[in-house]
Amino acid sequence: MDANVLKKAIEKFLHEDIGSGDITSEAIIPPEQTGKAEFVAKGTFVVCGMDSVAPAVFTAQNPAITIIHAEKDGAEASPGDILLQATGPVLDLLKAERVALNLVQRLSGIATLTARFVDRVKPLPVKILDTRKTTPGLRMLEKYAVRAGGGHNHRFNLSDGVLIKDNHIEASGSIQKAVSLVRGKIPHTMKIEVEASSMGEVRECLASCVDIIMLDNMDPVTMREAVKLAGGRALLEASGGVTLDNVRQVAETGVDYISIGALTHSAPACDISMRLLGV
């Protein structure tokens, strides 16, 4: 995650929340007053954003703010843990508070949910993946949170990874034709992934020498069969309908990856609050 890209995004977020100014705080807090802000965990969760995003929010608001402590992203937090300490102008600590909290609460929520999925499949050699079902505008951050929780990332967007889906196959006539059209155009650094919803399609994929086969909404029995058939000739990714309840069963089929949209679209926020000292 490049620091300059992060800063640009944060500047937009701060502007959304601050508008032309914080009319309450600017009327009350003198700009020269300094203090210390602390982020405190109000629950048990996997931290994300503390040593990366939150510091960037505070320093984007005012470079005079100093971060004196930040919990490592990916660490476990317990109620009462102090996750971040920052000192500087109180006015800017207050202005940056909500954006920083909104981000770390959401990112920690994603990291925490990811970690729960990862735990369920341990010690199987399967990897938990995110999807493109991220919040518009937050993809880079949410994919970072998935990594903080022990998961792995699928492609970032439509231009840096290939995924041939049913509509593509229909439009071109067959898996083989679709793969051939794509292979002629993409960088050699990219793999080709194709969605398959039946064993017949898995066979076609293997015949076309695709790199990854996405097993779309298959039942575990069929997945197991696909794993056997593939025999290492392609990576297999299970996708669709995976929950904390059934992820272990999916993992045990022997697939290499399990992708889960809920990691980013339905993780509840973690509870973190900010307290100001020495005001």
Region near its own copies per CB under 8 A, out of 2-10, 72-80, 219-227, 246-254: 2-10
Please report how close the Cβ of residue 71 comes to its own copies at its closest, in angstroms: 17
Region near its own copies per CB under 8 A, out of 27-35, 200-208, 220-228, 247-255: 27-35
| Count of other CB atoms within 10 angstroms of residue 170 | 10
Active-site residue (options: 81, 92, 195, 237): 195
Residue with smaller CB distance to its own copies, 78 or 159: 159
Q: For residue 219, what are its two tokens?
A: 């039942």
Closest-CA residue to 264 (of 121, 153, 101):
153
Closest-CA residue to 259 (of 197, 214, 194):
214
Binding its own copies (rule: CB under 8 A), the pick from 2, 32, 80, 125 is 2
Active-site residue (options: 97, 142, 216, 256): 216
Between the alpha carbon of residue 231 and those of residues 124, 187, 210, 241, the distances in Å are 17, 26, 13, 24
Q: Is 77 helix (H, G, I), strand (E, B) or coil?
A: strand
Give dist(CA 56, CA 41) in Å, integer: 19
Give residues 189-248 in contact with its own copies (rule: CB under 8 A): 189-191, 193, 211-212, 235, 237
Residue with smaller CB distance to its own copies, 221 or 242: 242
User: In sequence order, which residues have a C-beta less than 8 Å from that of residue 140 and are 6 or more positions away?
Assistant: 1, 5, 6, 9, 156
Give dist(CA 6, CA 53) in Å, integer: 8
Region near its own copies per CB under 8 A, out of 68-76, 117-125, 187-195, 199-207: 187-195
Give residues 55-94 in contact with its own copies (rule: CB under 8 A): 60-62, 90, 94
Q: With binding defined as CB under 8 A, does residue 162 bind its own copies?
A: yes
Please report how close the Cβ of residue 70 comes to its own copies at its closest, in angstroms: 14
Using CB under 8 A as the criterion, what x/- string covers residues 258-277 for binding its own copies?
----x--xx-xx------x-
For the question of residue 204 being annotated catalytic, the response is: no
Q: For residue 101, what are its two tokens?
A: 């909290």
